[in-house]
Structure 1
Amino acid sequence: MPRDKKGLSRKSGGQRKDPTTFFVIASEGRESEPQYFAHVADFINTKSLGRLIKIEALRREDNASDFRRVLSMLDEYKKKYKLSDKDQLWCLVDADKWPEKNMAEAQQLCKQKEYEFCMTNPCFELWLLLHHLDFKTIDEAAKNDLLKNPKTTSSKNHLEQVLHAILKKEFGESYRKGSISKAHLEKIPFALRQAFELELEKNHWTFDAFCTRIHVLLQQIFQSEPPDYPLPE
């Protein structure tokens, strides 16, 4: 969420006196995740919740896909701004990019730095697919294909292909990284319900199962004041 370094909401190195909670999100994905959370931020800003919650989706200028680079963005933010106890800093990474030992290191570093850690297996597109595909309707073979997520074309993996087909059918839109549709927003309630029902947060260190904590992050964002739809208890 772009803002001046000495904006009204907080000042560089200054003491926080406002009641606003900041959710600062650094992701391995350079474009898709920041765009998605920018849409969520825009939605929040149109509601009364915007007085209490601010989302800052940090953007990388480089293409380095390394969890250490993701963590460094949060480190730089933490050095620049005075944080309150309510603020949350989140590190989002995909399991398909790194071996298990790297993810264990990333999780441990986040714990030391008091950052929230979110690994999505196999990748961020799983979270987007939860907005549109009812996982109760697909068989184990189809789930296994989604989990393995092989390359199907030179530019798309299996999850991206499935997501592309659904968006084309429902909205007449294609799926492209870096061009995340606002159409996902209206489906957030469904994505949240599915993720909690599937207990994806409990699989967070199981590399042979779907997992994510993005729904936990969104529930944290919305918990101060309910949005226009019910959230899972």
Structure 2
Amino acid sequence: MSPQTSKSTKISTETNLKGGKKGTKEERSTFLILCEGKTEKDYFTGMRSRRGPQIDVDVPKGDHLAKVREAVDRVSSDYDAVWCILDTELDGELTAEMTREAGKSGRVRLGLSTPCFELWLILHHADCARPFQSADAAKKKLKKIVPSWSEKNTRFSDFSAGVGAACDRAQKLSPDGRNPLKNPSTNVWELVSGIREKQGAGRQK
């Protein structure tokens, strides 16, 4: 994650996906998070807090690579960190291409989950080390653990109590983080830990 730069401008607490910081609130760290779908968007939108960092969340059109390219295009001094949250789909070639595209900017971080983001949600409630045969299998497991969950309805409140545990479990699944295709695994905890760290700094002010 890029170090926070020193600025004297003021920003609003409202999302401004096109960039440009303005408003009357004391400036905070800013995260731009481009997601694969509604589930991810609902989760990260739910992480917003009054004293935490500004979190701008968007779901760009297009396939995996199109989303990564948009993230690269939207890198700017307006954002302290730019992340793209995607599933690997258990596809090694796709994962390699996404990594190459993200590397073109030097500032875009990929939050990759194998087989899918729902693994990250599962880890809020339970250990999960057995490989999944498909993304659908992970979603079915999540539905059993959180019956109220659906792809159309992801409530951060269903997961908020287990965020710390999810970070710990994800790190144990892939301690060195070198193989994003390890099944199951996710490095989304890196982004979430960064947000939580900034939220803690905000509460201390």
Task: Determine the structure 1 residue equivalent to 2:103.
Answer: 111
Once the two structures are TM-superposed, the CA of residue 206 in structure 1 deviates from its matched residue by 5.0
Cα RMSD for the two superposed structures: 2.7
Task: Determine the structure 2 residue equivalent to 1:149.
Answer: 134
Distance in 1, matches of 2:16 and 2:200, equals 29
Query: What is the 5 A alignment of 1:189-208?
Result: 189-196=164-171, 198-200=172-174, 202-205=176-179, 207-208=181-182
SS of match in other structure, 2:85: strand
Task: Determine the structure 2 residue equivalent to 1:158.
Answer: 137
Letter in 1 for 2:55: I
Quick check: 1:58–1:73 contact (8 Å CA) kept in 2?
Answer: no
Seq. identity, %? 20
Distance in 1, matches of 2:17 and 2:87, equals 30
Quick check: 1:92–1:118 contact (8 Å CA) kept in 2?
Answer: yes
Distance in 1, matches of 2:29 and 2:78, equals 9
Distance in 1, matches of 2:18 and 2:32, equals 17
Q: 1:166 to 1:67 in 2, by over 3 A?
A: same
Unaligned runs of 5+ in 2: 1-12
Distance in 1, matches of 2:143 and 2:47, equals 21
1:124 aligns with 2:131: no
Once the two structures are TM-superposed, the CA of residue 5 in structure 1 deviates from its matched residue by 7.0
Quick check: 1:35–1:178 contact (8 Å CA) kept in 2?
Answer: no
Q: 1:201 to 1:112 in 2, by over 3 A?
A: farther
Question: TM-score of the superposition, structure 1-length normalised?
Answer: 0.68
Letter in 2 for 1:55: I
Q: 1:219 to 1:4 in 2, by over 3 A?
A: closer
Letter in 2 for 1:223: E
Quick check: 2:72–2:102 contact (8 Å CA) kept in 1?
Answer: no
Task: Determine the structure 2 residue equivalent to 1:231.
Answer: none
SS of match in other structure, 1:180: coil
SS of match in other structure, 1:57: strand
Unaligned runs of 5+ in 1: 12-17, 151-156, 228-233
Quick check: 1:203–1:210 contact (8 Å CA) kept in 2?
Answer: no
Quick check: 1:23–1:88 contact (8 Å CA) kept in 2?
Answer: yes
In our comparison, the structure showing a higher alpha carbon Rg is 1
Distance in 2, matches of 1:19 and 1:2, equals 12
Distance in 2, matches of 1:125 and 1:21, equals 27
Aligned length: 184
SS of match in other structure, 1:116: strand
Once the two structures are TM-superposed, the CA of residue 213 in structure 1 deviates from its matched residue by 1.2
SS of match in other structure, 1:119: strand
Quick check: 1:203–1:209 contact (8 Å CA) kept in 2?
Answer: no
Which of 131, 143, 163 aligns to 1:188? It is: 163
SS of match in other structure, 2:84: strand
Structure 1 or 2: more helix by fraction: 1
Once the two structures are TM-superposed, the CA of residue 199 in structure 1 deviates from its matched residue by 4.5
SS of match in other structure, 1:25: strand
Query: What is the 5 A alignment of 1:200-219?
Result: 200=174, 202-205=176-179, 207-219=181-193
Which of 75, 78, 81 aligns to 1:83? It is: 78
Distance in 2, matches of 1:6 and 1:109, equals 21
Task: Determine the structure 1 residue equivalent to 2:146.
Answer: 167
Question: TM-score of the superposition, structure 2-length normalised?
Answer: 0.77
Quick check: 2:86–2:111 contact (8 Å CA) kept in 1?
Answer: yes
Distance in 2, matches of 1:40 and 1:209, equals 26
